[in-house]
Structure 1
Amino acid sequence: MTELAVDTANRSAVPWFKNKKLDQYICFWSVPVFYTLFGLVFVPLSYMMPPRSPAAGIAEVVSFMQSPTLLIASAILILVLGLSAVANACYAVQIRRMSVSPVFLYAFLAGSMVGAIVGCLFPMFCFGLGAFRPGYDPEILAMLYDFGYLSFIGSLGCFCLNWGVLSLAIVLDKNAILPKWLGYYTAWQFATELFAATVWIAKDGPFAWDGLMAFWFNIVIYVPWQIIVYVCVFMAIKNQSETELYSSELESAAPNEKLAYS
């Protein structure tokens, strides 16, 4: 408690630009910027979300795939997609503080990379390609349409790995970095993403990619979870002692140990 009191006093006395957690806070606040731009790309610019019907006619598909705003959406996504790595790094830093094996951290990072590529980059390439080459045959545009939506919604299972790892790490952690209930909530959230497997089979009804179970049920669980988990991550950063920071470890290390860090 004495250490915490000293740490709190030191934080209040230090100007914000000299705060040793400034780098973490910068990374953290880049996350809402990313998700705002992400929503802009996939909703008003591409009109990809809410998802269009997998049973849409060729004329409707061609009209959608040749929208000029798809190119603008693609350009914005390519510029900001790297921020998704920063967002996942905010999770990873907190996993590193937990009393669990490093394999949790590595598995989380690997799962995050796979999910971002397959579930975000591929779909925008498919939809942007249709607008970039308006001379494509309608059948090719229909194939890109299917590929884009199946990749975006049908790959949600990729995220089961990293959210499952995060959930298990929180539950097993003895350092109380994040609240236990968040671990169980996270488990419930990623379990709903398993319904994404059904979009490869159903073309209509609740299990299609625009259906009640495969999409809307998952969204209702995911959106509040995403907000809550970042509030918890922010509180974890705020409560983190400066003695736990990497920079503090580096400053206190002997010269030969500093060489090992680098």
Structure 2
Amino acid sequence: MSDTVITAPESPAESAPPRPRNRKRDQWIAFWIVPIFFNIFGIVFVPLSWMMPPRPPNSPVPAVVEFMQSHTLLIACAILTLCFGLAPVGNAVYLIQIKRMSVSPVFRYSVMIGSMTGTIVGMLFPLFCFGLGAFRSGYEPSTLAMLYDFGYLAFIGSLGCFCVMWMAFGLAIILDNNNVLPKWLGYYTVWQYVTELMAAPVWISKSGPFAWNGLMTFWFAMVLYVSWQIIVYVCIYRAIKNQRDDTLETAWLYGEVVAAEPRPKADA
């Protein structure tokens, strides 16, 4: 009789790699990068450079030259250059949640492309305009005034890119049958970013409520945006926390079957 021992094949659960303790670590890293980035962004645009709140479009030329030749602008631009890469990581927080929704990939691609174009125009353009003005002394006042206008018009006047991006995000929430995020957040998001259309008159108005530093164009929109940003991240925090492990994209690594996500009650 042969002494060969026949062993049973390993089950998928036995052959699977060990499970990490926190299998949502990647989502949490992306999530917490967002407040880090916005805090750096705020430091750069307010106490370092004083780009915000926006200076008036009709500022006298000497005031424009003094601002554009400030050395703190160069420090602000250097810091923004170093942390610029955190922006796409933060946008991944939205894209992950949209991928969980029962909607067309068109919505996810719209948010992704909208964030790219909006960030280039709304962050890189002002960075280079203000930084270029401060980089070398001796520029003509008219040149500095043009860079000044270009920088602020790009920063405040590019909100249309974000409007389309967040409209797609809001519609994805409304049309989603998996209720990944609450429906009311979708309506709130759509309403919030329709108000961003008020940025269009900055190309026409040089003073008053619709100038780039005006009550409606900047202050009203900023109050709405900040409150929305806080609320949406509370909702995303809950969505990440409540997501079942077997619905994660990495569930197949551990021999699990990816099940359809349960549909919470309508009052979620």
Q: Mark yes or no: TM-score above 0.5.
A: yes
Q: Alpha-carbon deviation of 1:249?
A: 3.2
Aligned residue among 52, 56, 65 for 2:55: 52
Counterpart position of 1:164: 167
Q: Equivalent residue of 1:157, what SS?
A: helix
Q: Which amino acid aligns with 1:201?
A: I
Q: Alpha-carbon deviation of 1:91?
A: 0.4
Counterpart position of 1:37: 40
Q: Which amino acid aligns with 2:87?
A: S
Counterpart position of 1:223: 226
Q: Is the 8 A contact 1:192 1:217 kept in 2?
A: no
| Within-5 A mapping of 1:127-206 | 127-206=130-209
TM-score by length of 1: 0.89
Q: Equivalent residue of 1:203, what SS?
A: coil
Q: Alpha-carbon deviation of 1:245?
A: 1.1
Q: Is the 8 A contact 1:38 1:77 kept in 2?
A: yes
Aligned residue among 57, 62, 65 for 1:62: 65
Q: Which amino acid aligns with 1:57?
A: P
CA distance in 2, matches of 1:73, 1:156: 22
Q: Alpha-carbon deviation of 1:85?
A: 0.5
1:119 aligns with 2:104: no
| Within-5 A mapping of 1:88-99 | 88-99=91-102
Q: Alpha-carbon deviation of 1:65?
A: 0.3
Q: Compared with structure 1, are the counterparts of its residues 250 and 106 closer, same or farther at alpha carbon in structure 2 (3 Å cutoff)?
A: farther
CA distance in 2, matches of 1:168, 1:250: 32
Q: Alpha-carbon deviation of 1:246?
A: 1.4
CA distance in 1, matches of 2:202, 2:251: 48
1:244 aligns with 2:229: no
Q: Cα RMSD (Å) of the superposition? A: 1.6
Q: Alpha-carbon deviation of 1:18?
A: 2.5
Unaligned runs of 5+ in 1: 1-13, 255-262
Q: Which amino acid aligns with 2:233?
A: Y
Q: Alpha-carbon deviation of 1:86?
A: 1.0
Q: Which has the larger radius of gyration?
A: 2
Deviation string 1:54-93 (CA, Å, 9 cap, x unpaired) is 0001000000001100001001111111111011100000
Q: Alpha-carbon deviation of 1:253?
A: 8.5
Counterpart position of 1:10: none
Q: Alpha-carbon deviation of 1:226?
A: 0.5
CA distance in 1, matches of 2:51, 2:59: 13
Q: Which amino acid aligns with 1:120?
A: M
Q: Alpha-carbon deviation of 1:248?
A: 1.0
Q: Equivalent residue of 1:113, what SS?
A: helix
Q: Which amino acid aligns with 2:161?
A: C
Q: Equivalent residue of 1:135, what SS?
A: coil
Q: Alpha-carbon deviation of 1:192?
A: 1.2
CA distance in 2, matches of 1:128, 1:237: 38
Identity of aligned residues (%): 64
Which consecutive aligned stretches of 4+ in structure 1 deviate over 4 angstroms post-superposition?
none
CA distance in 1, matches of 2:205, 2:254: 57
Q: Equivalent residue of 1:232, what SS?
A: helix
TM-score by length of 2: 0.87
Counterpart position of 1:5: none
Q: Is the 8 A contact 2:41 2:80 kept in 1?
A: yes
Q: Equivalent residue of 2:110, what SS?
A: helix
Aligned residue among 65, 82, 85 for 2:85: 82
Q: Alpha-carbon deviation of 1:252?
A: 3.8
The worse-fitting range, judged by mean Cα deviation, of 242-251 and 200-209 is 242-251
CA distance in 2, matches of 1:217, 1:232: 23
Q: Equivalent residue of 1:18, what SS?
A: coil
Q: Is the 8 A contact 2:160 2:196 kept in 1?
A: yes
Q: Alpha-carbon deviation of 1:195?
A: 0.7
CA distance in 2, matches of 1:19, 1:164: 32
Q: Which amino acid aligns with 2:105?
A: P
